[in-house]
Structure 1
């Protein structure tokens, strides 16, 4: 077990739900409206990260978290793990419950902090996952890296407490090339991802699909030109408090991100 008192991100998020920008949430930035605004990365320093850092017994893993209240925008917990080729960094993201994921790896909250890194095992560890997200019910949604852009988006549910084998989404979601970076809403009401499809604005666009009353997924809806550009857009996710959508426009180095009021999602929901 690992004790990192500074990693109590879940409670921090809960306490900060009603905070203002002046209180320090979102790094003191003024939250955006329905017009996307750039995230001012220049003010996001690494200073203070080491204050929550600790080695696990055996010195094989080093956990740390930021003290600057950045959980809604950046990884909640980061881990350096000593592997065969040296130290590798894992970023774990909050999912609204007591488990955080980084590709096929995860950590769980314990009475004293966070567990050591665990693996989802097969077949997850045989799929070249780039991003994996989870709903509050434990449904996993993830992508697959391929060199030709043919990778699929898949999901895996918890059924009677057991993890089912991954299944590919239907054509509503798995259409086009370079399908990647999915995000499932905490309540499983929608999925956001990016891909290259006919009728898009550029090399890749962000799309959303809403869950239907019968449990199926609706048609892919393009986020439109308020979000998408003539470049490669994607990497979207909604902050754990459900208030803001963050994404990467054009997705070229230095990968500056934008954010916008998550109410923009409701403007896309079919009536």
Structure 2
């Protein structure tokens, strides 16, 4: 009888300990930074870490270059409002998430500068500095900024309000020369064909560029396209990334992880409410970056 009582007490002790652990937001120990998810192959998979996704509200996320910080959003409520969070990886474990005012971050190659919209922050001993303006050079930009390893900015440029509201932005870049950013250079007409050009991702070495755009011959709404750098500053003709990546839904916001292993992107559609209002609902997908290698022209070294 005593042995039975002791066993029952042990069982309830273990259950109580487990309940307290999850109640304190302590996550299981992980062997990799991808939240214990099984990696994808050449077919995109839904990226939906359950430890970040109560009730399936995980929306999107961005890793820091050292893969030890993950900034992410959740959406919920009638207006599908976004809330921004950050979680940190320490001692082989993801810690406790916290809300943050940092939105849609991109990082310098060394991780010491964080870009958010038309502002940037510098890493300090106490964390990130207050936001600072990126300057006049980016005043006419919108819908995404990407930075190469040498500091070159890639972005959609809008010359006026008409271009902005009609979705006719142009892929452009600005190089850092002697500590100053040069005037934007617009890419070719071939690169800028289509509407709603947005969210360019430039490879760290500028060997390829991926962006989303609505173009003739696509699979539905916006698709992901890629172009590979040729000799000099020229780019090869853009390639639709194909039916495994693109669907009749809206594919957008491409980004390759800093370890070079996976391409992340969003896939979604517009949801119409009973009152006629609508909002965009999307999920994050990831796929092995071999899909990029497979699209690279054979004569492109």
Answer whether TM exceeds 0.5 for this pair: yes
For 1:27-176, what aligned pairs fall within 5 Å after superposition? 27-45=35-53, 65-68=86-89, 79-80=100-101, 90-97=103-110, 98-124=112-138, 126-144=139-157, 146-176=164-194
Higher strand share: 2
Q: Which residue of 2 aligns with 1:183?
A: 201
Instruction: Using the TM superposition, give the Cα deviation of residue 68 of structure 1 relative to its aligned residue in structure 2, in angstroms.
Output: 4.8
Instruction: Using the TM superposition, give the Cα deviation of residue 24 of structure 1 relative to its aligned residue in structure 2, in angstroms.
Output: 4.0
Instruction: Using the TM superposition, give the Cα deviation of residue 114 of structure 1 relative to its aligned residue in structure 2, in angstroms.
Output: 2.7
1:262 pairs with one of 289, 295, 301: 289
Normalised to the residue count of structure 2, the TM-score between the two structures is 0.67
8 Å Cα contact 1:203-1:232 kept in structure 2: yes
Structure 2, unpaired ranges of 5+: 1-28, 55-68, 71-83, 91-97, 159-163, 271-279
Q: Which residue of 2 aligns with 1:203?
A: 221
Instruction: Using the TM superposition, give the Cα deviation of residue 37 of structure 1 relative to its aligned residue in structure 2, in angstroms.
Output: 0.7
- For residues 201 and 238 of structure 1, what CA distance do their matches in structure 2 show? 22
- Aligned residue for 1:234, secondary structure, equals strand
Instruction: Using the TM superposition, give the Cα deviation of residue 128 of structure 1 relative to its aligned residue in structure 2, in angstroms.
Output: 4.5
- Aligned residue for 1:143, secondary structure, equals strand
Instruction: Using the TM superposition, give the Cα deviation of residue 38 of structure 1 relative to its aligned residue in structure 2, in angstroms.
Output: 0.5
Instruction: Using the TM superposition, give the Cα deviation of residue 266 of structure 1 relative to its aligned residue in structure 2, in angstroms.
Output: 0.4
Question: Which range moved further: 192-201 or 144-153?
Answer: 144-153
- For residues 128 and 216 of structure 1, what CA distance do their matches in structure 2 show? 22
- Aligned residue for 1:43, secondary structure, equals helix
- For residues 134 and 251 of structure 1, what CA distance do their matches in structure 2 show? 28
Structure 1, unpaired ranges of 5+: 1-20, 50-62, 70-76, 81-88
Q: How many equivalent pairs are there?
A: 221
Instruction: Using the TM superposition, give the Cα deviation of residue 91 of structure 1 relative to its aligned residue in structure 2, in angstroms.
Output: 3.4
8 Å Cα contact 1:65-1:78 kept in structure 2: yes
Q: Which residue of 1 aligns with 2:247?
A: 229
- For residues 52 and 108 of structure 2, what CA distance do their matches in structure 1 show? 22
Instruction: Show structure 1 runs of 4+ deviating over 3 A.
Output: 110-113, 250-254
Note the alpha carbon deviations across 1:66-116, whole angstroms, 9 max, x for none. Answer: 1257xxxxxxx9852xxxxxxxx5332223222221121011223553322
Instruction: Using the TM superposition, give the Cα deviation of residue 190 of structure 1 relative to its aligned residue in structure 2, in angstroms.
Output: 0.7
Question: Which range moved further: 189-198 or 108-117?
Answer: 108-117
Normalised to the residue count of structure 1, the TM-score between the two structures is 0.74
Alpha-carbon RMSD: 2.7
- For residues 49 and 186 of structure 2, what CA distance do their matches in structure 1 show? 35
